Structure 1
Amino acid sequence: MSSLTITEVTKDFASTGPGRSATRAVDAVSLHVPHGSFTTVLGPSGCGKTTLLRLIAGFLLPDGGSIAFGDTVVAGDGVKPMPPQVRRVGYVPQEGALFPHLDVAANIAFGLPREDRGRGGDDRVAEMLDLVELPADFRHRRPDELSGGQQQRVALARSLAPRPAVVLLDEPFSSLDASLRGSTSLAVRRALAASNTTALLVTHDQNEALSLADQVAVMRAGRLVQSASPSEVYLSPSDPQVAEFVGRAVVLPGTATASRATCPLGEVVLTEPGEGPVSLMIRPEQIYVDLAHAEGVRGTVEELSYYGHDCAVQVRLDDGTPVLARMAGVRHPVPGDVVHLRVTGLVRAYRPVAHPPAS
C-alpha cells in the first residue's frame, strides 16, 4: 500500500465537431491521499471525477501534471508512463463486473499472480471473504446467485486480493437500493480500513461521500474546489455553490458587523468576523421552527416533506423570502400554518462575488 499524490493534473479531450474547441475534463487538479486513508471525490455528472479516476488507473494519460504512488511517479513529469497492469491498482467499477462463468473463489483469485493461485490462493480467498464479511461457503457460488450488494463485496475482495497500492472505486453502490447501499458501503469501508488500504471513491451522492470518507474532495467543472474532512466541507464550504451542493443550504444576503450579521432571519452569529455586505450560508437544521410563536421572524408554511425521522419545511417569510428548515418529525406544522423562525449556531459568511459591469 502507498499514498497517492496528484499534482496539477490536466486532461483535454479533442473536439468532436468542426469549429469546436477541446474540452478540458480535468483542470490543474492537485490532491493528496495519505497512506491507508479513504478519500471520496464528490461532484455532479460531467465534472471530471471519473476521468480523474481513469488517469490514476492508467487508462488515460494526463496532458499535464503528475501522478505518484508513494515516491514513485507513474505518469507525468517527463517520465515514461507506467502501464495500468504494473501500477498495482485495484479497480472496482459500478457494476462489479464479475466473470459470470467463474465462481466466487475463482473471481477473487483471478487477480493473484499465477504462482499464488494454488493452496496459497485458497487461503487468500478465505481471508478476503472474511474481510468483506461474506460466509466462507459463498466461495462456490456463481455471480448470478448473489445479490447486488454481495457482488460488490466480491468485486472489492478481488481488487484487494493482490495487495494493490491503491484501490479505486467508481460509484460502486449507485445501482443498489437505499438500504442495501448503506449496509454494503459500510462493509466496504470496514474492509478497506481493516486492510489499511489507500482508497479513492468517486460519487455524486453527498451522503455517501460524507459518511464514508476521511477526506472529501469536491469537483466542479473539472476543477477541485475544496478538499477537507467531511465535517469541514459540510460546516465550512469554500463557497456558496459548494454549500448548496453538499447537503441543503439556505443562502441569504446580509450585512456583517464584526462577529454578527443581520439578514431576513434576524441577527446571526458568524464563524469569523466580517464587515459590510455578505452572503450567509445557513444549514436548514440550524433554523428552529417555533410552533408556539414565542419569538423569531414570522412566516407561513408553504410545503412540507415528511420523512418520518425528520421533515423539511418550506416557509415564506412575511417579507417574501423563501426559507427551508429541517426539524424532527415527531411534531410538525402543516401548509398554511404561521410559524416563527430563528437561527441557532454559527453561520458562515462569504463576500458577494463581484460581477464586471456590462459593456
Structure 2
Amino acid sequence: MSSLTVTGVTKSFPSTGRGHAATRAVDDVTLHVPHGSFTTVLGPSGCGKTTLLRLIAGFLVPDSGSIAFGDTVVAGDGVRPMPPQTRRVGYVPQEGALFPHLDVAANIAFGLGREARESRGDDRVAEMLDLVELPADFRDRRPDELSGGQQQRVALARSLAPQPAVVLLDEPFSSLDAGLRGTTARAVRRALQASNTTGVLVTHDQNEALSLADEVAVMRAGRLVQSAPPSQVYLSPSDPQVAEFVGRAVVLPGTANAAHATCALGQVVLTEPTEGEVALMIRPEQVYVDLVHAEGVRGTVEEVSYYGHDCAVQVRLDDGTSVLSRMSGVLHPVAGDTVHLRVTGLVRAYRPAGSP
C-alpha cells in the first residue's frame, strides 16, 4: 500500500488528419492521493479523466511529468517507465471484465502468483469474498450467475487479492441501475477502507463523486481545476463553471458592496466581502419558493420536475431571468403558478477574470 503522486503530467495524442492539431488529453495535472485515502476524479465525458487513470496504471506513458507510488517513481523524471504488471496496481474496468470460463474463486485467485495460489489461494479467496460482502458459497458460481453489482464486487476482490499499492476504478458502476449502483458503490468503498487501500475512481456522476470520496478532483478540458474535500468543492467551487457542473448552480451577475450584493433575486449576503461587478453562485436549495406570502422577487413557474423526496422548480422572473429552485416534494407549485423567491444562506461571489 502507498500514496499516489502525479506531478505535472501531460499526455497528447497525434492529430487525426490533415489540418487537425494534436489533442492534449491531460494537461499539466498535479494530484496527490494520500495512503489509504479515496479520491474521485470527476468530469464530463472527454475531459481526460480515463486517460489520467490509464497513465497511472501504466497503459500509457506521459509526455512529461512524473507518477510515483510512495517514494517509487514509476514514470517520468528520466526513469524508464515501469510496466503495468510490476506497478502493483489493481484495475477495475467499467464492465468488471471477469473471465467467463472461470468460477468466482478462480477469478479472484487469478491475480495471485502461482506459489500464493497453491499455498493460500483458498484462504485469500474466502478473505476477499468477506471483504466485498459476498457469501462464501459464491466461490463456485460462474460470472453469468451473478448480478451486475455482484460481478463488480468480484472484480474488486480480484484486484485487491494481490495487495496492490493502488486500486484504480474506471466508472465501474455506470452500467448498473440506480439502486444497485448506490449499494455496490458503498460496498466497494467499505472494502477499500477495511483493507486501507489507496483508491482512485473516475466518474461523471456528481452524486457518486461527492458521497464516496475523501477528496474530489474536478477535471475540465484535460486540466485539474480543483481538488478538495467534497464539501469544499460543493460549497466553495473554484470558479462558476465548477459550480454549475458540481451539483448545479444558479450563477447570476450582481454588484457587490462589502458584505452584500444585489442581483435579480434581490439582496444577498456574501461569504466574503468584496466590491464591484461579480458573478454570484447560488445553490438551487438556497432559493426559497414562497407559496403563501408575497415576499421576495416575483416570478412564474415554468416547469416542475418531481422526484418524490424533493423537486426542481424552474421559475422565470418578471425581468426574464430563469432561476432553478430545489424544494421539498411534500408541497410544491405547478407550472403557471405565480410565486415569490428569496435567497437564504451565504452566497459566494466571483470577480471577473483579470480584475484586481
Report the TM-score range of the alignment, normalised by the length of the smaller protein. over 0.9
Structure-1 separation of matches of 2:51 and 2:316: 42
Give the aligned partner of residue 335 of structure 2: 335
Give the aligned partner of residue 25 of structure 2: 25
Letter in structure 1 aligned against 2:271: T
Structure-2 separation of matches of 1:229 and 1:294: 39
Give the aligned partner of residue 85 of structure 2: 85
- Report the Cα offset of residue 352 of structure 1: 2.4
Give the aligned partner of residue 286 of structure 2: 286
Q: Which runs of 5+ in 2 are unaligned?
A: none
- Report the Cα offset of residue 21 of structure 1: 1.8
Give the aligned partner of residue 238 of structure 1: 238
The TM-score with structure 1 as length reference comes to 0.98
Give the aligned partner of residue 165 of structure 1: 165
1:218 aligns with 2:218: yes
Structure-2 separation of matches of 1:354 and 1:64: 29
Structure-1 separation of matches of 2:343 and 2:352: 21
- Report the Cα offset of residue 260 of structure 1: 0.8
Structure-2 separation of matches of 1:19 and 1:312: 44
Give the aligned partner of residue 15 of structure 1: 15
Structure-1 separation of matches of 2:86 and 2:321: 57
Structure-2 separation of matches of 1:85 and 1:336: 61
Letter in structure 1 aligned against 2:113: P
Letter in structure 1 aligned against 2:176: L
- Report the Cα offset of residue 118 of structure 1: 2.3
Structure-2 separation of matches of 1:133 and 1:107: 16
Q: Deviations over 1:137-175 (max 9, x none)?
A: 000000000000000000000000000000000000000
What is the correspondence of 1:160-199 to structure 2 with a 5 Å cutoff?
A: 160-199=160-199
Structure-2 separation of matches of 1:63 and 1:265: 48
SS at match of 1:199: strand
Give the aligned partner of residue 44 of structure 1: 44
Please say if residues 160 and 167 of structure 2, whose CA atoms lie closer than 8 Å, have aligned partners that are also in contact: yes
Please say if residues 128 and 161 of structure 2, whose CA atoms lie closer than 8 Å, have aligned partners that are also in contact: yes
Letter in structure 1 aligned against 2:86: V
Note closer, same or farther for the CA distance 1:336–1:354 as it changes in structure 2 (3 Å cut). farther
- Report the Cα offset of residue 247 of structure 1: 1.0
SS at match of 2:45: coil
Structure-2 separation of matches of 1:243 and 1:343: 17
Give the aligned partner of residue 122 of structure 1: 122
- Report the Cα offset of residue 293 of structure 1: 2.2
Q: Deviations over 1:285-308 (max 9, x none)?
A: 001111012411111111111111
Q: Deviations over 1:46-70 (max 9, x none)?
A: 1100000000000000000000000
The TM-score with structure 2 as length reference comes to 0.98
Letter in structure 2 aligned against 1:140: D
Please say if residues 5 and 68 of structure 2, whose CA atoms lie closer than 8 Å, have aligned partners that are also in contact: yes
Runs of 4+ in 1 over 3 A off after TM superposition: none
Structure-2 separation of matches of 1:274 and 1:42: 30
- Report the Cα offset of residue 216 of structure 1: 0.3
Please say if residues 294 and 339 of structure 2, whose CA atoms lie closer than 8 Å, have aligned partners that are also in contact: no
Letter in structure 1 aligned against 2:249: A
Give the aligned partner of residue 317 of structure 2: 317
What is the correspondence of 1:338-349 to structure 2 with a 5 Å cutoff?
A: 338-349=338-349
SS at match of 1:117: helix
SS at match of 1:118: helix
Give the aligned partner of residue 109 of structure 1: 109
Q: Which runs of 5+ in 1 are unaligned?
A: none
When the two chains are superposed, the root-mean-square deviation of aligned CA atoms in Å is 1.0
Please say if residues 289 and 327 of structure 2, whose CA atoms lie closer than 8 Å, have aligned partners that are also in contact: yes
Give the aligned partner of residue 140 of structure 2: 140
Q: Deviations over 1:295-337 (max 9, x none)?
A: 1111111111111100000111111111100100000111111
- Report the Cα offset of residue 19 of structure 1: 2.5
Structure-2 separation of matches of 1:318 and 1:46: 38
Structure-2 separation of matches of 1:335 and 1:283: 21
Structure-1 separation of matches of 2:302 and 2:76: 55
SS at match of 2:173: coil
Structure-2 separation of matches of 1:309 and 1:291: 18
SS at match of 1:227: strand
Structure-1 separation of matches of 2:236 and 2:181: 27
Structure-2 separation of matches of 1:350 and 1:75: 38
Give the aligned partner of residue 208 of structure 1: 208
Q: Which moved more, 1:114-123 or 1:319-328?
A: 114-123
What percent of counterpart residues are identical? 86
Q: Which moved more, 1:101-110 or 1:13-22?
A: 13-22
Structure-2 separation of matches of 1:326 and 1:8: 39
Letter in structure 2 aligned against 1:309: H
Q: Deviations over 1:208-266 (max 9, x none)?
A: 10010000000000000000000100111111110111111100010001111011111
1:61 aligns with 2:61: yes
